[in-house]
Chains A and B, each alone.
Chain A
Amino acid sequence: MDIRFEEVDFTYQPNTPFEQRALFDLNLTVKEGSYTAIVGHTGSGKSTLLQHLNALVKPTKGTVSIGDRVITAETNNKNLKPIRKKVGIVFQFPEAQLFEETVEKDIAFGPKNFGVSDEEAKKLAKEMLNLVGLDDSYLERSPFELSGGQMRRVAIAGVLAMEPEILVLDEPTAGLDPQGRKEMMEMFLRLHKEQGMTIVLVTHLMDDVANYANHVIVLEKGRIVKAGSPKEVFADIAWLKEKQLGVPTAASFAEKLAAKGYSFDQLPLTADELADSLLQVLEKVGDSQ
């Protein structure tokens, strides 16, 4: 299922003194099975764009096609549930959405809303809880007695339990410790690779973009200023610095090496690529001696 934006405009509170335009003439496609990263400054319209992905907001102009459903400004608010089931969104700080007495009920809440039977939902809850790295002993606990990181996992499990085809993540690891961050990101990558889940990731961390994404969209002030593979987007480091977007750690280290006279065929974006290309260089040096 692809998501396609065609000439999408979005304005907050149109025709009031508080009118504010957030998106300008967006054209983009989230392809089925892709891992798309959306980057940009705070206030560049990332979160607004994200809410279009499952019709939480409707474009003020243009069309958003989610699979074969077309959303325009005139679309009725009824009967959007099938879209919401297919496109799961994990919002920023999703732990704020927990409310049930037990973790199990909270995870099962989403599936039940979409008509899954009680038993099936409970089974899903258990499965998803394990998937996000918590054991069964948590099922009967209240979500409010968990630590922040555990609450985050439960909230994410709640979205995964809806078994969405497309998973949208808005800074899923913000405020987590390095270990938890890595575990989370690896889990999403597994879902992407093993189950072919389409993932849309909104993030400020360029390392995550370089490590996981295969398509990058750069937003600035509600407009797309660059889109392409991570290689293409990160190719021009000067441009990224000028836009104050940050550069993957590996690329910035490689750039420093290049300044000292090292030459790379292609600028490495991840630690693995960097290690590989360093190895090549060292082998060359070794051969020539």
Chain B
Amino acid sequence: MMNKLILGRYIPGDSFIHTLDPRAKLIASFYFIGIIFLANNWQTYVVLAAFTFFAIFLSKVNLGFFIRGVRPLLWLILFTVALQVLFTRGGATYFEWGIFSITEFGVINGLFIFCRFVLIIFMSTLLTLTTPPLDLSDAIEYLLRPLKAVRFPVHEISLMLSIALRFVPTLMDETEKIMNAQRARGVDFGEGNLIQKMKAVVPLLIPLFVSSFNRAEDLATAMEARGYQGGEGRTKYRVLEWHLKDSFVMIAFTLMTVLLVYLRA
């Protein structure tokens, strides 16, 4: 069912990118999304694209998977690009019809937005393809720590996050199993009109909710039985380690920011 979804999955490996500290990768990914808005001319986009493709090259993951990651969002991207192209005015006008117009600025803006989308998706795909979900949730917990000062329940949130991440594949399996069982009993998923389609989901949703409740109860009992009493006074088994190369990544990003600001029109 989820066969086509590449975004959000992890491919094991031992490349430079794989072995980076997840905190470094997480910060870098968010930072990248921030600085992509600095780009506003050809030179800056070329720098960003070169940087992204270099990172992909370093990860040793096949470029095809990234392209496949873009595919589910392709229509959204094309829609946005089309809006930009059709409604931006300025520069030489190539075509005009009522409120629609294709202009020089529109085409350039459209292309920039396309690049922006693709680069952001490539970067976030790179993050999830090279980082196991649990490492990510550790990194999020660490980075949220300062929020403790404002009484934000950092431990609880990160616990929920890691449990949720852990159970995504389990729930997917379960969904598929129940779906198969109901199909074997004559349910047609995704057929008929909207009402029929929605009705067909009931025999899938109810068992899923029920089994989630049961699972939550079992898990809570098992956690308590093993002495879990909340976040206070716990030690950590998986300790994140910041290496020299993680600092290098941060420096590379800083240098790129400087370069972008310099090249900006």
| A interface residues with partner B (beta carbon < 8 Å) | 13, 16-18, 51, 54, 56, 78, 81, 84-85, 88-89, 91-92, 94, 96-99, 109-110, 113-114, 144, 158-159, 162
Known contacts A51-B180, A99-B203, A99-B210; 12 additional CB pairs below 8 A are A56-B180, A56-B184, A81-B186, A81-B188, A84-B186, A88-B184, A97-B185, A109-B203, A110-B185, A113-B185, A159-B184, A162-B185
Check if A97 sits within 8 Å of B207, measured CB to CB: yes
- List, in ascending order, chain A residues with CB within 8 A of B4's CB: 16
Looking at the complex, which one of A91, A99, A113, A159 makes contact with B177 (CB distance below 8 Å)?
A: A91
Q: Which of B6, B185, B210 has the most CB of A within 10 A?
A: B185
Q: Which of B6, B65, B184, B203 has the most CB of A within 10 A?
A: B184
Check if B178 sits within 8 Å of A97, measured CB to CB: yes
- List, in ascending order, chain A residues with CB within 8 A of B174's CB: 96
- List, in ascending order, chain B residues with CB within 8 A of A92's CB: 177
B259: CB under 8 A from chain A? Answer: no
- Assuming the A-B contacts A17-B65, A88-B184, A89-B184, are A98 and B207 also in contact, with contact meaning beta carbons closer than 8 angstroms in the complex? yes
B229: CB under 8 A from chain A? Answer: no
Interface size on B, as a range, is: 20 to 34
Check if A96 sits within 8 Å of B183, measured CB to CB: no
| Bound Cα distance A144, B207 (Å) | 10
- Assuming the A-B contacts A16-B3, A144-B210, are A84 and B203 also in contact, with contact meaning beta carbons closer than 8 angstroms in the complex? no
Per-residue 0/1 for B1-26: is the Cβ within 8 Å of any A Cβ (1 yes, 0 no)? 00110100101000000000000000
Q: In angstroms, how far is the closest chain A Cβ from the Cβ of B197? A: 15
Q: In angstroms, how far is the closest chain A Cβ from the Cβ of B190? A: 9
- List, in ascending order, chain B residues with CB within 8 A of A89's CB: 180-181, 184
Check if A17 sits within 8 Å of B207, measured CB to CB: no
- List, in ascending order, chain A residues with CB within 8 A of B11's CB: 17
Check if A96 sits within 8 Å of B186, measured CB to CB: no
B206: CB under 8 A from chain A? Answer: yes
Per-residue 0/1 for B187-221: is the Cβ within 8 Å of any A Cβ (1 yes, 0 no)? 11001000000000011001100110000000000
Instruction: Supply 7 A–B pairs (Cβ within 8 Å), ascending by A.
Output: A88-B184, A96-B177, A97-B182, A114-B186, A159-B185, A162-B185, A162-B186
Looking at the complex, which one of A85, A94, A97, A144 makes contact with B186 (CB distance below 8 Å)?
A: A85
Check if B185 sits within 8 Å of A158, measured CB to CB: yes
B62: CB under 8 A from chain A? Answer: yes
- List, in ascending order, chain B residues with CB within 8 A of A144's CB: 210
- Assuming the A-B contacts A16-B3, A162-B186, are A94 and B203 also in contact, with contact meaning beta carbons closer than 8 angstroms in the complex? no
| Bound Cα distance A24, B184 (Å) | 24
Looking at the complex, which one of A18, A99, A113 makes contact with B207 (CB distance below 8 Å)?
A: A99
| B interface residues with partner A (beta carbon < 8 Å) | 3-4, 6, 9, 11, 62, 65, 68, 174, 177-178, 180-188, 191, 202-203, 206-207, 210-211
- List, in ascending order, chain A residues with CB within 8 A of B206's CB: 99
Check if A56 sits within 8 Å of B186, measured CB to CB: no
| Bound Cα distance A194, B13 (Å) | 57
- List, in ascending order, chain A residues with CB within 8 A of B211's CB: 96
- List, in ascending order, chain B residues with CB within 8 A of A54's CB: 184
- List, in ascending order, chain B residues with CB within 8 A of A88's CB: 184
Q: In angstroms, how far is the closest chain A Cβ from the Cβ of B188? A: 7
Which 7 A-B residue pairs are closest in the complex by CB-CB distance? A113-B186, A99-B206, A110-B185, A97-B181, A89-B184, A13-B3, A91-B181
Q: Which of B4, B182, B183, B206 has the most CB of A within 10 A?
A: B183
Check if B184 sits within 8 Å of A91, measured CB to CB: yes
Of all chain B residues, the one with the shortest Cβ separation from A116 is: B186
Q: In angstroms, how far is the closest chain B Cβ from the Cβ of A51? A: 6
Q: In angstroms, how far is the closest chain B Cβ from the Cβ of A54? A: 6
Looking at the complex, which one of A81, A96, A162 makes contact with B178 (CB distance below 8 Å)?
A: A96
- Assuming the A-B contacts A51-B180, A96-B178, A97-B178, are A109 and B185 also in contact, with contact meaning beta carbons closer than 8 angstroms in the complex? yes
| Bound Cα distance A144, B213 (Å) | 12
- List, in ascending order, chain B residues with CB within 8 A of A85's CB: 186
- List, in ascending order, chain A residues with CB within 8 A of B68's CB: 16
Check if A18 sits within 8 Å of B9, measured CB to CB: yes
Of all chain B residues, the one with the shortest Cβ separation from A85 is: B186
- List, in ascending order, chain B residues with CB within 8 A of A98's CB: 207
- List, in ascending order, chain B residues with CB within 8 A of A91's CB: 177, 180-181, 184
| Bound Cα distance A110, B186 (Å) | 6
Check if A96 sits within 8 Å of B184, measured CB to CB: no
Q: In angstroms, how far is the closest chain B Cβ from the Cβ of A128? A: 13
| Bound Cα distance A18, B4 (Å) | 10
- List, in ascending order, chain B residues with CB within 8 A of A109's CB: 185, 203
- List, in ascending order, chain A residues with CB within 8 A of B9's CB: 18
- List, in ascending order, chain A residues with CB within 8 A of B210's CB: 99, 144
| Bound Cα distance A25, B147 (Å) | 57
- List, in ascending order, chain A residues with CB within 8 A of B185's CB: 84, 97, 109-110, 113, 158-159, 162
Looking at the complex, which one of A17, A97, A158, A159 makes contact with B62 (CB distance below 8 Å)?
A: A17
- List, in ascending order, chain B residues with CB within 8 A of A113's CB: 185-187
| Bound Cα distance A17, B174 (Å) | 22
- List, in ascending order, chain B residues with CB within 8 A of A114's CB: 186
Of all chain B residues, the one with the shortest Cβ separation from A113 is: B186
